[in-house]
Amino acid sequence: MARILLTGGTGFIGSHTAVALAEAGHVPVLLDNFANSEPSVVEAVGAITGASPTLVEADIRDRDTLAAVLRDHKIDAVVHFAGLKAVAQSVADPVAYWDVNVGGMIALLGAMRETGCRRLIFSSSATVYGEPAALPVDETAPTGAINPYGATKLACEQLMENLAASEAGWDLVALRYFNPVGAHPSGSIGEAPRGSPNNLMPILLETVTGRRGPLSIFGDDYDTPDGTAVRDYIHVMDLAEGHVAALEAPGEGFRAFNLGTGRGTSVLELVRAFEQATGVPVPREKAPRRPGDVPVLEAAVGKAERELGWRATRSIAEMCRDAWRFASRN
């Protein structure tokens, strides 16, 4: 049993990871400033696991508070989700993204160094691969940012690598998420972003619940079997369990792992799978390609299987059913 601090713990992936950690016998402590989430998530997590986790309201850039939390709660390891994640917003306001994402990481590592906590798992992204030359993309592929959001993720990884090279005793892991979708099967926690969503599944859910018009399918002339772009969608509970596996497989220095399924699904395939899994029709229309989108992104998943003993098991149908259950209840 370990005591784990989850920064951004009331967010989409953080809340599901809190459930997975509690179910594996660990003690999650959540820290958030509610920039993109609600405090009520804590009770929803508690209703699933039987005990509401401790919640600390704080900003990830507040190093002194972070150090106090690490000490007071006797934290063994940190999972760092807190950050800003909208690519278009990062183009419009790069300073805010570097401030929260990179400034937050600097404050966190400073507090960890000060208090002697040396284990960190960081929410990185497949965006660090830019447009990969070979697919499926593995962890040895060259990295490169194609937008400010990606630049902040890469900068955080580079800082972790520099720190691990400078001092012995650190165990720093970057988990490069592919496309997380779905929700806890209870339907009581899920993806509930503030403002207008940017990702396919939350946009699709707005369409089918009548909160927006037809789903725009961005591009039907890619070099893919049906012309629409292909991504590696992963159920958020599989992703959450990937964090538990990473925490339970200690190592040394800096390591990066892909968390995906290894299987690609096109936009049209996902839309049809949603209709089939839920019986709910998805009104849709063709739209131009979205600038900056890569045609295909699929994870090589062998490293996580070998070194963490983890692999994703849930299907696209489960991702759609669970995402719909949460959306239709909320």
Note the residues at the interface with ligand NAD (CB under 6 A). Answer: 8, 10-14, 32-37, 59-61, 81-85, 100, 104, 123, 125, 177, 180, 199
**Using CB distances below 5 to 8 A depending on partner kind, what does residue 229 bind out of ligand UDP, ligand NAD, none?**
ligand UDP
Q: Longest Cα pair distance anywhere in the chain, in angstroms?
A: 55
32 binds, among ligand NAD, ligand UDP, none (CB under 5 to 8 A by kind): ligand NAD
Q: 167-181 burial, b for 16+ CB within 10 Å, e for fewer?
A: eeebbbbbbbbbbbb
Give CA–CA dist 234/16, Å, rounded: 13
Q: Which of residues 201-230 bind ligand UDP (CB under 6 A)?
A: 203, 215-218, 229
**DSSP conformation letters of 242-297:** HHHHHHTS---EEEEEEES-S--EEHHHHHHHHHHHH-----EEEEPPPTT--SB-
3-class state of residue 58 by DSSP? coil
- Judged by beta carbon distances under 5 to 8 A according to partner kind, the member of ligand NAD, ligand UDP, none in contact with residue 33 is ligand NAD
Does 267 engage in binding with ligand UDP (CB under 6 A)? yes
Residue 82 site contact among ligand UDP, ligand NAD, none (CB < 5 to 8 Å, cut-off depends on kind): ligand NAD
Q: Which of residues 160-179 bind ligand UDP (CB under 6 A)?
A: 179
Residue of the chain from 62, 293, 307, 318 that contacts ligand UDP (CB under 6 A) = 293
CB 169 within 8 A of CB 116: no
Task: Classify 330 as helix, strand or coil.
Answer: coil
- CA proximity to 90, closest of 98, 81, 78: 98
- Compare residues 249 and 282 and give the one whose CB is closer to ligand UDP: 282
Closest-by-Cβ residue to ligand UDP is 229
DSSP single-letter state for residue 106: H
Instruction: CB nearer to ligand UDP: give 50 or 291.
Output: 291
Given 149, 177, 222, 233, which residue is catalytic?
149
**Nearest to 171, CA basis, from 239, 253, 70, 87:** 253
Compute the least distance from the CB of residue 100 to ligand NAD, in Å.
5
Q: Report d(CA 191, CA 215) in Å as an integer.
A: 18
Tokens at 14, concatenated: 């953080």
Measured from the CB atom, the residue of 177 and 257 that comes closer to ligand UDP is: 177
Q: Is position 177 annotated as part of the catalytic site?
A: no
Of 89-97, 115-123, 130-138, 196-204: span binding ligand UDP (CB under 6 A): 196-204
Our CB check for ligand NAD shows the closer of 80 and 325 to be 80
Residue 123: CB minimum distance to ligand NAD, A = 3
Residues forming the active site: 149
